[in-house]
Structure formats: C-alpha cells, structure tokens
C-alpha cells in the first residue's frame, strides 16, 4: 500500500494489520531516504549500527529525541528548496527546534491536517471564533507556535473573529454580535488550553456573563501542564466551559501535536481519548530500557508519522508521558490506537504553545 492510496481513505479507517504493513514499508523507505539525503542522520544510523535490512517492523526503527532538533540542523533538502522554517514554542532564552519544509511537504501537511480535522468538525468551513487576540499574529515579535497554530486552524473558518482584545479582555459586544449574526449556524472555536481557561472561562465566571455557544465545536491544544498546576482537570475544564457558554463536553476536543511532526496531529474523540490516524502512531516505551510497554502501562511517548520527507522527523521520542489504552476498539468507532497524555516527564524542559504565555499577549 502506497502513501497516495492511504491518503484517499478515511483518516481513521485502517485496521491494525493493514496499518502495520503500510507504516513498516513506508517508514523503512523514509529512513533510507533520510540516510541518503541528510549527512547528520546518516552518521547517527552508523553510530547506532543500524542494519535496515534486518528491520521487520517500524517499531524497531531508531528514533530521534525531539530535543535533538534544538541542537542540530537536520534537513534532507537543500537550502534552496526550503520554503518554510518552523520553530517550536519556547520561553525567553530557550533554544527552539527548527523544522525545514519544502513546498510539497508544506502542502502535504495542510492536506492531511484538513482530512484529520474534517472527521471531527465536518468538511464545510464554519464561522470561527479564535479565543485569543489578533495581536499575536499581527505583531511579528510575538509570533511563535501560538501564532502559527492560529493561522493554521484559520483555514477551517468561513469567517472569523478574535474573542480577546489587545488587553486580553473578552470583547463581549463583538462576540454577541458574531453569535447573533450566525444564529442557527454551527460555530467553530479554536484556542490554546491555558489561554481559554484564564482569559475566557474565568473572565465569564467573574462577570457572570453567559454566551450561547451550544451549537459550537471547540478545538484546543497546548497542553494541560499549567492547568494541572492549578488542580484543574480535563473534566472540570469541560464542565466549567459548558457552564459559561453551553458547549457540550463531547464537542470539546483537545489535540496532541508538535512542530516536529506538524500535520499528523492526534485529536480527542467524543469519548475523551486521543487518536492516531492512518498516517501516524504512538508507541509507549519503558524508561529503563526503552522496550515497548503494553496497553495500560504508563511510559515515554514515541510518535511516528508517514509525512516528514524534508527532514528526518518520522520517528521521534518525545519528552511526554502517556499511556496507550487500546487499538481499533474505541467506542467512538474510529480505528487506530487511542491514548492519554499525562504531561511532561519529570525534569524535562517545559515548553508548549500555552507555556509561552507569561501575562502578555
């Protein structure tokens, strides 16, 4: 099965055996390609004494730590082919990852992102409320993974409004006008978890104002690290969102993704589980020996993706802790592995789209 064939299928349709066969064949080919086109990656494989002819499954392929992209320039294309350089989020003084994309790679990421998201929000663009301030995309000094995320998800909006003004206050009047103008139409909301909590939920609770967003779907990301520090669980996040604007909990979808594998994000289903698509997978590894942990055992999250061709980011070991719950049998009906993320590993550097925020837009 080739990549083009898989792209034409519904994004969560491959059963385990077919997906294993596809990912194994494709990721071995990608590994060979990157070894031929990226000198640094070739040296890494040589140092690890990897014999690709002996690999029987993609789970046996070497993985790179995501932190390596902070330390090295890893690309499998010439500088003249680079059309976009993406950087990870990071607080002041932190080194950021740099990911290099060529034109075909950038187009493929957008195509796959749209196919994955259409399974949760439908194929038609919807009126979009961005739960952030427009300043974050207008001011290039502030532009980061947060701004890139807003621009990336803006493609799903038929028209859009920013819910916060430049002072990070909810613009109640503009929001009510937007909701009234689009009355009866399904709305789409997008934002980063911590921003939504601090500047939307808590603000509406403080003022006692309620908005009717009962027809809306919310997509949010950036992690729960800061919220867990405030003892706010995923369940409470959804419950209090529902209380201030009537969004059904099953229409609130977290997503898990990273700049090092943009495009193949994992989205939370209606049952509260993150899902891998046909083009990606997660593997949970034990910290003591990196062996594969069985379903139900917490460990380090490895992510694989069929997309990265301009840089060797197809098999990565993250600094996140998670657990795989099962495969092909989630009650939401989607195939593929489904899992939970618990947050950063102890002593791992804290970063994330929400973590870049420090009391300023």
Say yes or no: 332 and 211 in one domain: no
Burial degree of 234 (CB within 10 A; 0-12, 13-18, 19+)? middle
279 three-state secondary structure: coil
Chosen domain end from 255, 280, 313 = 255
Say yes or no: 120 and 230 in one domain: yes
Query: What is the structure's pLDDT at 350?
Result: 42
- Decide if 162 contacts 175 (C-beta within 8 A): no
Say yes or no: 167 and 234 in one domain: yes
C-alpha 192/C-alpha 205 separation (Å) is 18
CATH number of the domain that residue 66 is part of: 2.30.38.10
Say yes or no: 141 and 207 in one domain: yes
Q: What is the DSSP letter of 232?
A: -
Chosen domain end from 212, 228, 255 = 255
Query: What is the structure's pLDDT at 135?
Result: 85
Query: What is the structure's pLDDT at 268?
Result: 96
The reply to whether 38 falls in a domain is yes
- Decide if 142 contacts 361 (C-beta within 8 A): yes
Say yes or no: 145 and 231 in one domain: yes
pLDDT digits (tens, 9 = 90+) for 153-177: 999 999 999 999 999 999 999 999 9
Instruction: Return the bridge partners of 317, or none.
Output: 65, 302
Low-confidence ranges of the chain (pLDDT < 70): 89-94, 139-145, 224-231, 347-361
Question: Beta strands 337-344 and 315-327: pairing type?
Answer: antiparallel
Query: What is the structure's pLDDT at 144?
Result: 63
Query: What is the structure's pLDDT at 314?
Result: 96
The reply to whether 308 falls in a domain is yes
Helix runs in the chain, H state only: 3-7, 16-37, 39-47, 68-71, 103-121, 135-138, 145-153, 172-181, 193-196, 202-207, 225-229, 234-245
Query: What is the structure's pLDDT at 259?
Result: 85
Query: What is the structure's pLDDT at 227?
Result: 65
Question: Beta strands 280-285 and 299-305: pairing type?
Answer: antiparallel
Counted domains in the chain? 2
The reply to whether 87 falls in a domain is no
The reply to whether 98 falls in a domain is no
Say how many residues make up the chain: 361
Say yes or no: 11 and 115 in one domain: no
CA distances for 246 relative to 116, 156, 214, 236, 265, angstroms: 25, 22, 5, 14, 26
The torsion of the CA quartet 56, 324, 256, 44, rounded to 10 degrees, works out to -30
- Decide if 254 contacts 234 (C-beta within 8 A): yes
Q: Give the count of alpha carbons within 13 A of 141, CB side only.
A: 2
Q: Which domain holds residue 283?
A: 3-77+266-344
Query: What is the structure's pLDDT at 56?
Result: 93
Say yes or no: 152 and 281 in one domain: no
The reply to whether 312 falls in a domain is yes
Q: At what angle do helices 39-47 and 16-37 cross, to 10 degrees?
A: 110
Chosen domain end from 234, 255, 276 = 255
Say yes or no: 202 and 168 in one domain: yes
- CA 176 to chain CA mean position, Å: 30
- What is the longest distance spanned by two Cα atoms in the chain? 64
The reply to whether 86 falls in a domain is no
Say yes or no: 42 and 22 in one domain: yes
C-alpha 179/C-alpha 213 separation (Å) is 8
Query: What is the structure's pLDDT at 93?
Result: 53
Say yes or no: 196 and 313 in one domain: no
Query: What is the structure's pLDDT at 347?
Result: 62
Query: What is the structure's pLDDT at 42?
Result: 96
> DSSP per residue over 182-218, as a string?
TTTS-EEEEEEHHHHIIIIIHHHHHHT-----TTEEE
The reply to whether 169 falls in a domain is yes
C-alpha 218/C-alpha 234 separation (Å) is 14
The reply to whether 294 falls in a domain is yes
CATH number of the domain that residue 243 is part of: 3.40.50
Say yes or no: 319 and 222 in one domain: no
C-alpha 47/C-alpha 252 separation (Å) is 45
C-alpha 327/C-alpha 314 separation (Å) is 21
Say yes or no: 199 and 270 in one domain: no
Query: What is the structure's pLDDT at 6?
Result: 94
């Amino acid at each position: 099965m080739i990549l083009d064939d898989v792209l034409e299928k519904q994004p969560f349709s491959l059963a385990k055996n077919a997906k294993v066969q596809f990912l194994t064949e494709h990721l071995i080919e990608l590994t060979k390609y990157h070894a031929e086109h990226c000198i640094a990656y070739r040296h890494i494989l040589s140092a690890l004494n990897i014999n690709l002819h002996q690999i029987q499954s993609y789970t046996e392929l070497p993985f790179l730590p995501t932190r390596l992209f902070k330390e090295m320039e890893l690309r499998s294309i010439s500088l003249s082919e680079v059309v976009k350089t993406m950087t990870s989020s990071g607080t002041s003084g932190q080194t950021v990852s740099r990911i290099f994309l060529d034109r075909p790679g950038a187009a493929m990421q957008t195509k796959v992102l749209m196919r994955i998201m259409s399974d949760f929000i439908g194929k038609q663009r919807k009126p979009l409320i961005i739960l952030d301030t427009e300043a974050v995309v207008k001011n290039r000094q502030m532009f980061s993974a947060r701004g890139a995320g807003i621009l990336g998800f803006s493609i799903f909006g038929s028209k859009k409004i920013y819910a916060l003004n430049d002072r990070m206050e909810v613009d109640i009047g503009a929001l009510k006008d937007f909701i009234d103008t689009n009355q009866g139409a399904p709305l789409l909301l997008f934002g980063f978890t911590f921003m939504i909590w601090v500047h939307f939920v808590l603000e509406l609770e403080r003022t006692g104002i309620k908005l009717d967003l009962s027809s809306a779907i919310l997509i949010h990301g950036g992690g729960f690290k800061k919220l867990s520090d405030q003892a706010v669980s995923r369940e409470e996040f959804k419950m209090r969102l529902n209380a201030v604007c009537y969004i059904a909990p099953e229409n609130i979808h977290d997503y898990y993704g990273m700049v090092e594998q943009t495009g193949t994000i994992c989205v939370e289903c209606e049952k509260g589980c993150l899902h891998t698509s046909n083009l990606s997978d997660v593997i949970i590894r034990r910290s003591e020996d990196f062996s594969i942990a069985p379903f139900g055992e917490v460990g380090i999250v490895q992510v694989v993706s069929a997309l990265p061709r301009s840089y060797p980011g197809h098999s990565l070991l993250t600094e996140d802790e998670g657990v795989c719950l099962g495969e092909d049998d989630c009650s939401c009906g989607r195939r593929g592995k489904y899992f939970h993320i618990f947050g950063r590993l102890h002593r791992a550097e804290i970063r994330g789209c929400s973590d870049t925020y420090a009391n300023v837009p």
